[in-house]
Chains A and B, each alone.
Chain A
Amino acid sequence: MALEITQFLLSAQSPDANVRTEAEANLTRFQEQNLPSFLLSLSVELANDEKPIESRRLAGIVLKNSLDAKDAVRKEHLVQKWMEIDISIKSQIKDLLLRTLGSAATEARHTSAQVIAKIASIEIPKKQWPELIASLLTNMTHQDRPPSLKQATLETLGYVCEEISHEDLVQDEVNSVLTAVVQGMNLAEHSPEVRLAATKALYNALDFAQTNFENDMERSYIMKMVCETAISKEVEIRQVAFECLVSIASTYYEKLEPYMQALFELTSNAVKGDEEAVALQAIEFWSSICDEEIELQEYENPESGDSEPPNSHFIEKALSSLVPMLLETLLKQEEDQDQDDSIWNLSMAGGTCLGLVARTVGDAIVPLVMPFIEANISKQDWHCREAATYAFGSILEGPTIDKLTPLVHAGLDFMLKAMKDENNHVRDTTAWTLGRIFELLHCPASGFSVISSENIRQVLSVLMESINDTPNVAEKVCGAIYYLAQGYEDTVPSSSLLTPFLTEIITYLIRTADRTDGGDSKLRSSAYETLNEVIRCSTVAETSRIIEHLLPVIMNKLEQTLQLQIVSTDDREKQGDLQASLCGVLQVIIQKLSSTDETKHIILQEADKIMTLFLRVFACRSSTVHEEAMLAIGALAYACGPNFENYMREFYPYLEMGLQNFEEYQVCSITVGVVGDICRALDDKVLQFCDGIMKHLLNDLGSNELHRSVKPPIFSCFGDIALAIGEHFERYVSYAVTAMQQASQICAQIDVNDEEFMEYGNQLRRSIFEAYSGILQGFKNSKPEVMSPYAPHLLQFIELVFLDRQRDESVTKAAVAVMGDLADALGPNTKLLFRNCAFYIEFLGECLQSDDEQLKETATWTQGMIGRVMVS
């Protein structure tokens, strides 16, 4: 059955494209014509130590890709294909794979381990490979088996544990697997290769070990072995052992108490003296503990302070030793660490952990850090100054405003002066710290801010000067301006202290965006994103003239991108990025100026030109639509209202393209939103485009490829369309409502324990109700009878939602509203229906007692509507 395919596999890696393409085609044909034989041939190739390693490698990869895919739909398809294969062939393949674990070639062993795990993930839950675990364990228990086989076996066990649940095996098997893995870590018995493989296997098996972590003795044994391994002679093994500890910290936080003293010593020694790779993991252990405790605090009972599971306050207990340990790391900076975003070192990890500790314990950290700052901030050595500044910036989130305000007031002047420090790192960290100060301690709407009319001028003059500093510093300065502007967001419409400086700030930001020394586009996009926030948080009444002048400047820049020479795909990408930034700014300007009747005309005057630009941006690409341009068009459609019709003929092809973009689902989702904007802008004039739009929306709903998050917005969009075109929705109603009914079945089957899926279910429910509301209101004045056949199903669905005690408030609102819409639109025809649905009385009663005014309003209205039907 197996065919000789070595040559194809080698040719498929040939540098000659023709040879390569032909070989790939041959392999694909083989795969399509006879999958069982194809997979068997690949396994034979992989297992054969006499074959070249290149062909064996590719055979392993193709085999793995024939069993697994990232995309869930494709994966399901592959699994199905595997299960259809004759059992005897599957057995042969599995035997070959297990035999390969003993191969002399490391790579073949490794690939085989992965493929075995993939098959195990399919077959073990179905009890179709009962002998796997036993045969792997045999490899471990026989003294005479070579270390390479043991190493490959441990790797396989780790991967298998990662793929399956401990519930797929009987507990005895689970225990034997873990025993084999943990014993593999034993120093006395095994070579370093085997111990490394065992430690990695344990890392992959930690979730699988759930039951064993519940048992004190077993857990203590595992912890003892991990701690011993964490001081192995071999640095690589130590590192993996610490990775295990990091994972245990988050997976088994509530079991850690008895081991914390030992773990503190272990991590503390590693941070102080071990290799960086190990020390970084040791710091990460504490960061993970912080993550857990911060999350526990979020869910704890505000009165008793209790949480489930209980908060052990490890950070608080270790604080006085932990903080000095972390402060020490801050002094271990590297030259040039701020120039390269990929650098991650001890000082950065230490500062990050310090920030998390501050968020965990709040005020208590301040007295432990302030002496360090005071001692180092003025020292000769830049390392000290930078470390002190970084420490200050790191603890600004967590402690109370009252605690921080005097410190920040006292320190602000110093920080502003430090923007002229001779050292680039010090300036970089100072600018970042200023950004943190503005982000966290500048909130005029809540009544506190380090910025006042006395110091704003000085603050801005420092920032404007420093925005000309090196790109890394300039980028942090942009961040500082971003948060400075954001502070005024909620004070709008009253005046912002920034108003008198706005022209200057905008000028500097544009100049920064134009800089050519930024290397990549990061500084430029930071400058534009900051510009957006500055515009968004400005007071439109005071700044409309300035924004009006900015509009042609940005339009001009966008125009220039259309003239760029495009030779390579790299050029194309750069052009796209630049257009994204500029379309973003235009979107913000359009939204700002169209938000008031006094300034809307500015946008309306320029609308033709703006729209032409957007269409030309779209035309730069052949197959995809520009996401940011699409977002901006939504804002423009809202501003233009019915006049947007003028652009529809030219814009429509791009709208279609966006609705068909399954791969970049964000683009699809945004386009669906824009359809809604257009419906509200055009009203019934959108009708001429609805056949196409509805076709694509229905296709999108039916697609398995499209990300599910786009589907709820599509239902809401049905409502938008129906409301706009009224009775003309009749031609789509059976398709739309069928899809809505199907989706409501899905809602009924949602697993209440899956939080993420629950959230999706809520969105889906809400959007289905919104669709019904739009359709019912759309038909109300002309053809309400169209909806009569669907009324019973809708009421059943509402009842189902009503019975769900965990339903989201937004779902409740939509459900109550749609009941009113039903009564409003169908009138006396619904009398009998409502009479037979006693639940609505209880539902309304519940809503009328709510504290939410909006919900009460809606419920009152619905009550009136149903009341009118009942007395009719």
Chain B
Amino acid sequence: MAPHDLRRPFKRAAISDQQRRRELSLQRQAQHRRDAQHQARCLASFLNPHSDPDPEPEPETTPEPEPEPTDSPKELDVRHASKLKGAEARKWFARQLMLPEWMIDVPDQLPQDWYVFARPAGKRCFVVSSNGTTVSRLRNGSMLHHFPSALPSGARTKDSSGSAQSYSILDCIFHESDQTYYVIDMVCWREYSLYDCTAEFRFFWLSSKLAETGACDPPSQYHRYRFSPVPVYNCDQAGLSAAYTGAVPYVKDGLLFYNKHAHYQTGNTPLALVWKDENCSQYVIDTDSKGQVPSQQQVVLELQDNGNLSTSDDPPVVFGCLDQAFIEQTESRSGNLLRFAIGDGGLNFVDGKLEKADLHYLGKSNRARAFADSYSKVG
């Protein structure tokens, strides 16, 4: 009924920050809700490291690559790792593979909670496709191949699907005789981080995604090596039998057991296990560089500051201790990997704990090695 107020707050517009504060709060809450739900969906991505309540420790050695102003500072980690070159890349990748422990006993709930598959013999490596090229890196971080592939952004083709930024990381074993990368796990796919996803999800994703790209096709100009998934079975009677005796196009190197609920964890984990015997592997025990089986079991241990010799487990298991004179004599330094033979004294246990080991120094380990052996391998 009353005519509207003429006054318009043109010159007198009060600064109203309160509404802005409310809106920013709502935005923040909505973002966190999205993050939490994404995480629940296993879509948690490295793009939002703050959403991860238990973030993996970032490798301290990851340096900033050449600055890219368009990138948000949050997009560290995997995205940058996919662009690392040279020594930096070696250091980073050397720490990223999930390594199985030796199967010493049968886990509870094996049939329900575990997968099994026959491990291809060959070179374990990470395959990274991004920016129109594909690089494979061995366990110690050194480069194996640099090649075009049909993986997402893996080659400079005109019709490359997805943005050039997109990248993928696969956990593979390169099998020499048929020049094939057998994909045993998927860590990132088209920028999706799968680190925090269960093995169940990763394997499902792997099987549904890989074929789509044409990466399983025979080699061609823009696709130098063939990729192939490996058949994965539930750990029931039939599955075990299939993995153990079933025919595969590759040479078997033992059986790998993956816990279905485990996330991709770097380093040694008891949620991935390896089993070897003469039926399923030709490499039941170590061979030397000439392929000869050494007369004594050998072990590679890492020399610590205090002279202790330890395994790569976390926490490390101490096998013995070197005195200062010996360290100086062999010019060893803390962090060196040293190779020992286990003598006739073997390993002595007291109350289930290792008390002493009969070690004989053989020399420094092969420089290409990045890790000491794990306790489960030696035991």
Q: Which residues of A contact B (CB under 8 A)?
A: 159, 162, 203-204, 240, 243, 280-281, 284, 287, 341, 344, 348-349, 351-352, 355, 390, 393-394, 429, 432, 478-479, 482, 493-494, 522, 526, 528-530, 532-533, 580, 584, 587-588, 591, 628, 631, 634-635, 638, 641, 666, 670, 673, 676-677, 680, 683, 716, 719-720, 723, 770, 773-774, 777-778, 780, 817, 820-821, 824, 857-858, 861, 864, 867-868
Measured between beta carbons, the chain A residues less than 8 angstroms from B8 are 287, 349, 352
Q: Type the 1/0 row for B22-44, where 1 means its CB is closer than 8 Å to any CB of A.
A: 10111011001100110011010
Q: Among the listed B13, B14, B18, B32, which residue makes an inter-chain contact with A638, where contact means beta carbons less than 8 Å apart?
A: B32
Chain B residue numbers with a CB within 8 Å of A528 are 17
Q: Does B283 contact A (CB under 8 A)?
A: no
CB distance from B115 to the nearest CB of A (A): 15
B15 at the interface (CB under 8 A from A): yes
Find chain B residues with CB under 8 A from A864 CB: 204-205, 208
- Docked Cα-Cα span, A575 to B41, in Å, equals 46
What is the CB-to-nearest-CB distance from A208 to chain B, in angstroms, rounded to a whole number?
14
Q: Is the CB of A203 within 8 A of B15?
A: no
Partner of A677, one of B6, B29, B205: B29
Q: Does B349 contact A (CB under 8 A)?
A: no
Are the C-beta atoms of B41 and A821 separated by less than 8 Å?
A: yes
A440 to B29 CA separation, bound complex (whole angstroms):
30
Assess the A777–B11 pair: CB atoms within 8 A. Answer: no
Told that A341-B12, A530-B15, A670-B25 touch, could you supply 15 new A-B pairs with CB distance under 8 A? A284-B6, A344-B7, A352-B10, A526-B15, A529-B16, A628-B18, A631-B22, A635-B25, A676-B29, A677-B32, A680-B32, A683-B53, A857-B43, A858-B43, A868-B204
Any A CB within 8 A of the CB of B69: yes
Is B37 a contact partner of A770 (Cβ separation < 8 A)?
Answer: yes
Q: Is the CB of A780 within 8 A of B11?
A: no
Q: Which residue of B lies closest to A587 (CB)?
A: B21
Q: Which B109-134 residues sit within 8 Å CB-CB of chain A? A: none
Do B32 and A522 touch across chains, with their CB atoms under 8 A apart?
Answer: no
**A716 and B16 alpha carbons, distance in the complex (Å):** 27
User: Hey, which chain B residues are within 8 Å of A204, CB to CB?
Assistant: 1
CA distance A492 to B22 in the complex (A): 21
* B37→A479 contact, CB < 8 A: no
Complexed CA–CA distance, A533 and B17 (Å): 8
How many Å lie between the Cα of A770 and that of B10 in the bound state?
Answer: 40
| A723/B22 in contact, CB under 8 A | no
Q: Which residues of A contact B22 (CB under 8 A)?
A: 631, 666, 670
Alpha-carbon gap, A390 to B8, bound state (A): 15
For A390, what are the chain B residues with a Cβ–Cβ distance below 8 Å?
Answer: 11
Complex Cα–Cα for A587 and B22 (A): 10
Chain A neighbourhood of B53, CB < 8 A? 641, 683
Q: Hey, which chain B residues are within 8 Å of A478, CB to CB? A: 15
Query: CA of A479 to CA of B1 in the docked complex: distance in angstroms?
Result: 36
Q: CB distance A857 to B192 under 8 Å?
A: yes
Please report the C-alpha to C-alpha distance between residue A631 and residue B25 in the assembled complex, in whole angstroms. Answer: 7
Give the number of residue pairs across the A-B interface with Cβ within 8 Å: 117
Given contacts A351-B11, A532-B21, A533-B17, contact A344 B41 (CB under 8 A): no
A-B contact pairs, 5 of them (CB 8 A): A494-B69, A587-B21, A723-B36, A770-B33, A864-B205
Spell out B's residues near A (CB within 8 Å): 1, 3, 6-8, 10-18, 21-22, 24-26, 28-29, 32-33, 36-37, 40-41, 43, 53, 69, 73, 192, 204-205, 208
The answer on a CB contact under 8 Å between B1 and A777 is no
> What residue in chain B is nearest A284 (Cβ atoms)?
B6
Chain B residues closer than 8 Å to A780, beta-carbon distance: 40
CA distance A64 to B93 in the complex (A): 79
The complex places the Cα of A867 from the Cα of B28 at a distance, in Å, of 33
B293 CB → nearest A CB, Å: 45
CA distance A227 to B137 in the complex (A): 85
Q: Smallest Cβ distance from A707 to chain B, in angstroms? A: 14
**Given A631-B21, A631-B22, is A673 in contact with B29 using a C-beta cutoff of 8 Å?**
yes
B37 touches A774 (CB 8 A): yes
Contact A673 B26 (CB under 8 A): yes
Q: A673 touching B14 by the CB < 8 A rule?
A: no
CA distance A240 to B40 in the complex (A): 62
Closest to B73 in A: A493
Enumerate chain B residues within 8 angstroms of A666, measured Cβ to Cβ.
Answer: 22
Q: Chain A residues with Cβ under 8 A from B33's Cβ?
A: 676, 680, 716, 719-720, 770
Q: Which residues of the partner chain B approach A280 to less than 8 Å between Cβ atoms?
A: 6
Say yes or no: B10 contacts A355, CB within 8 Å. yes
B26 CB contacts on chain A under 8 angstroms: 673
Contact A777 B37 (CB under 8 A): yes
Partner of A584, one of B3, B21, B29, B73: B21
Which residues of B lie under 8 Å from residue A634 when comparing CB positions? Answer: 25, 29
Separation of A280 and B16 alpha carbons in the complex (Å):
27
Task: Report the bound CA distance from A676 to B37 in whole Å.
Answer: 13
Q: List B contacts of A773 (CB < 8 A).
A: 37, 40
Q: A861–B43 contact, CB under 8 A?
A: yes
Which residues on the A side are within 8 Å of B24 (C-beta)? 591
- CB contact between A777 and one of B18, B40, B205 (< 8 Å): that residue: B40
* Shortest Cβ distance from B18 into A: residue: A584
With contact pairs A281-B6, A352-B8, A638-B32 given, residues A673 and B25 touching in the complex (Cβ less than 8 Å): yes
Question: Closest approach, in angstroms, between the C-beta of B80 and any C-beta of chain A?
Answer: 16
Chain A residue numbers with a CB within 8 Å of B37 are 719, 723, 770, 773-774, 777, 817
Nearest chain B residue, comparing its CB with the CB of A854: B34
| A482-B28 in contact given A203-B3, A666-B22, A720-B33 (Cβ < 8 Å) | no
Q: Which of A479, A631, A638, A817 sits near B15, CB closer than 8 Å?
A: A479
Nearest A residue (CB) for B16: A529
Q: Which residues of chain B are within 8 angstroms of A394 by Cβ–Cβ distance?
A: 10
Q: How far is it, in angstroms, between the C-alpha of A240 and the C-alpha of B3 when the chains are bound? A: 9
Closest residue of A by beta carbon distance from B12: A341
A526 to B14 CA separation, bound complex (whole angstroms): 8
Contacts of B10 in A (CB 8 A): 348, 351-352, 355, 394
Q: How far is the CB of B289 from chain A (nearest CB, A)?
A: 44
Q: Once the chains are docked, how many angstroms separate the CA of A284 from the CA of B18?
A: 30
Q: Bound state CA distance, A820 and B201, in angstroms?
A: 13
How far does the Cβ of A829 sit from chain B's closest Cβ, in whole Å?
A: 17
Chain A residues with CB below 8 A from B18, complex form: 529, 580, 584, 628
| Contact indicator A348/B11 (Cβ below 8 Å) | yes
**Shortest CB distance B35–A (Å):** 9
Tell which of B6, B41, B43, B205 touches A349, judged by Cβ atoms closer than 8 Å.
B6
Please determine whether A162 and B6 come into contact, CB atoms closer than 8 angstroms: no
Rounded to whole Å, the gap between the CB of B22 and the closest CB of chain A is 7
Write the nearest CB–CB distance from A350 to chain B, whole angstroms.
Answer: 10
Between B24, B40, B53, B69, the greatest number of chain A beta carbons within 10 A of the residue's beta carbon is seen for B40
CA distance A494 to B69 in the complex (A): 9
Known: A352-B8, A522-B14. A680 touches B36 (CB 8 A): yes
Chain B residue contacts of A159, Cβ below 8 A: 1
Q: What are the 5 closest A-B residue pairs judged by CB atoms, nearest first?
A: A777-B40, A529-B17, A352-B10, A344-B7, A529-B15
- In angstroms, how far is the closest chain B Cβ from the Cβ of A841? 16
Quote the shortest CB–CB distance from B175 to chain A (angstroms): 28
Bound CA–CA A115/B22 (angstroms): 41
User: What is the distance, in angstroms, from A663's C-beta to the closest C-beta of chain B?
Assistant: 18
- Residue of chain A at shortest CB distance from B69: A494
Q: Which residues of B contact A203 (CB under 8 A)?
A: 3
Q: Judging by beta carbons under 8 Å apart, are B36 and A720 in contact? A: yes
Q: How far is the CA of A22 from the CA of B21 in the complex (A)?
A: 47
- Chain B nearest CB: distance from A164 CB in Å? 14
Report B-chain residues with C-beta under 8 Å of the C-beta of A638: 28, 32
Given A526-B14, A584-B21, A770-B33, CB of A243 within 8 Å of CB of B40: no
Among B13, B17, B18, B192, residue most surrounded by chain A Cβ atoms (within 10 Å): B17
Residues of chain A contacted by B17 (CB below 8 angstroms): 528-529, 532-533, 584
